[in-house]
């Protein structure tokens, strides 16, 4: 019988692709070549033993193709003001258009991608240490979720957790950029977990129905349905885009979740002020910040309001993000190499024998 705490990890075991095709054949051939060498030249075995075989990388396991072609680019500005958010250097300034009250909504089409650019800071733990890790993220999410997108993470210099120093383990990622394939929704998955625009634009524009949708999201059974609904609200907005009617309905729905408070002039990581829906849990107030005119998601902020572990002063910021741009583009970027494939739509794979 597996302990409950371990079972929760076993049940959440990520799907993994099977070891098929070319990579497996290559590994087997290499092993057989080594075996053949050992048989023929046993005295040279020590020499080959020290050799590390490099360059077996999969060829074209996930080919990211076609250039980023500018569509409409929108930097989410605050309260109709100018787009003061500095985008990444690669984004042409001329393409940055402030969203204002009369600016047309994005109308992405199937086949296109929504590019979300954000800067994030959250707590991270490793090797018994804790620190605040920071990233710049770009997510290319397909407008219709049947195809793959891409996530680029640039790891920035970490910051110390309040009252602590930055541990060595936190520094290893700084200035590294990683790429991850992001699968669209998996065939057979329930509709309500989709986050692609094609699906989100079909969600109810009525706040009551949207509220029911938030509570319908797959969630834990520990009875804290309101906390899960608030999580669902966060995930509905973070790195996703909906038409205004759905955004407004979701905002209104979120406001009615028990425990949610509304605050004005809450600042995101880019210094933009917006209206925030906040909820306290375990000594931390998580606020989702929105443009009050357009209900665009600006970012999130996590502020210590009570007892947290390790202790941090009330008022400390443990999470701070800004979604600095939402752009419609025609294609994924070119010249991206070393993309980590996403096997999460593959069958869990293999037979699973019960343990113990």
Partner 1 sequence: MASARALLDGAAMDDSSLIERSLAEPELFAVLFDRHSDEIFRYTARRLGAEIAEDAVADVFLIAFRRRHRYDAARADARPWLYGIATNVVAQNRRAERRRNRAMARIAPDRPGSFDERSAERVTAERLQPRLARILLGLSAAERDLLLLVAWAELTYEDAAQALGIPIGTVRSRLHRVRAKVRRALGGADPFDPDA
| Minimum separation from the CB atom of position 94 to partner 1 (A) | 31
| Minimum separation from the CB atom of position 103 to partner 1 (A) | 26
* CB neighbour list of residue 119: distance below 8 Å, 6 or more residues apart: 134, 135, 136, 137, 269, 270, 321, 322, 324
SS3 151: strand
Contact, 226 vs 246, CB < 8 A?
Answer: no
CA distance 52 to 48: 8
The structure tokens listed for 267 are 């600042």
| Minimum separation from the CB atom of position 96 to partner 1 (A) | 25
Q: What are phi and psi of 192, to 5 degrees?
A: -70, -10
Nearer to partner 1, 83 or 289 (CB): 289
Nearer to partner 1, 92 or 259 (CB): 259
CA distance 244 to 294: 7
CA pseudo-torsion sign 192, 195, 197, 201:
positive
Nearer to partner 1, 96 or 269 (CB): 269
CA distance 274 to 267: 6
Nearer to partner 1, 186 or 205 (CB): 186
Nearer to partner 1, 83 or 322 (CB): 322
CA distance 302 to 281: 10
Nearer to partner 1, 104 or 310 (CB): 310
| Minimum separation from the CB atom of position 130 to partner 1 (A) | 7
Nearest CA-CA partner of 244 in 177, 197, 288, 276: 197
| Minimum separation from the CB atom of position 218 to partner 1 (A) | 4
Nearer to partner 1, 96 or 144 (CB): 144
| Minimum separation from the CB atom of position 295 to partner 1 (A) | 18
Contact, 177 vs 156, CB < 8 A?
Answer: no
Contact, 236 vs 228, CB < 8 A?
Answer: no
| Minimum separation from the CB atom of position 132 to partner 1 (A) | 10
Nearest CA-CA partner of 342 in 81, 128, 148: 148
Nearer to partner 1, 83 or 257 (CB): 257
Question: Where would I find the H helices in the chain?
Answer: 4-11, 21-40, 45-49, 197-200, 207-216, 225-237, 244-255
| Minimum separation from the CB atom of position 308 to partner 1 (A) | 3
């Amino acid at each position: 019988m597996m302990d409950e705490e371990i079972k929760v990890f076993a049940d959440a075991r990520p799907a993994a692709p099977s070891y098929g095709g070319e990579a497996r054949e290559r590994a087997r051939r290499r092993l057989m070549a080594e075996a053949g060498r050992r048989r023929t030249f046993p005295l040279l075995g020590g020499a080959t033993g020290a050799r590390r075989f490099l360059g077996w990388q999969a060829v074209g396991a996930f080919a990211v193709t076609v250039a980023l072609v500018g569509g409409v680019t929108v930097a989410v500005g605050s309260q109709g003001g100018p787009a003061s958010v500095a985008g990444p250097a690669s984004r042409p300034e001329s393409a940055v258009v402030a969203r204002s009250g009369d600016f047309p909504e994005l109308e992405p089409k199937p086949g296109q991608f929504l590019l979300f650019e954000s800067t994030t800071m959250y707590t991270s733990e490793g090797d018994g240490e804790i620190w605040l890790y920071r990233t710049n993220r770009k997510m290319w999410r397909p407008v219709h979720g049947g195809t793959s997108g891409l996530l680029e993470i640039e790891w920035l210099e970490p910051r110390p957790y309040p009252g602590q120093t930055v541990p060595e383990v936190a520094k290893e990622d700084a200035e590294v950029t990683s790429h991850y394939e992001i699968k669209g929704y998996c065939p057979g998955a329930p509709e309500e977990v989709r986050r692609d625009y094609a699906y989100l634009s079909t969600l109810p524009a009525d706040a009551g129905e949207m509220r029911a949708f938030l509570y319908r999201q797959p969630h834990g059974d520990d009875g804290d349905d309101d906390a899960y609904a608030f999580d669902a609200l966060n995930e509905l907005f973070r790195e996703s885009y909906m038409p205004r009617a759905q955004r407004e309905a979701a905002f209104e729905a979120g406001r009615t979740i028990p425990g949610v408070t509304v605050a004005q002039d809450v600042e995101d990581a880019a210094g933009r002020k917006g209206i925030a829906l906040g909820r306290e849990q375990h000594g931390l107030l998580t606020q989702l910040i929105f443009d009050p005119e357009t209900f665009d998601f600006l970012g999130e902020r996590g502020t210590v309001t009570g007892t947290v572990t390790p202790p941090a002063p009330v008022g400390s910021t443990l999470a701070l993000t800004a979604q600095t741009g939402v752009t419609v583009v025609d294609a994924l970027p070119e010249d991206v190499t070393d993309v980590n494939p996403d096997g999460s739509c593959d069958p869990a794979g293999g037979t699973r024998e019960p343990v113990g």
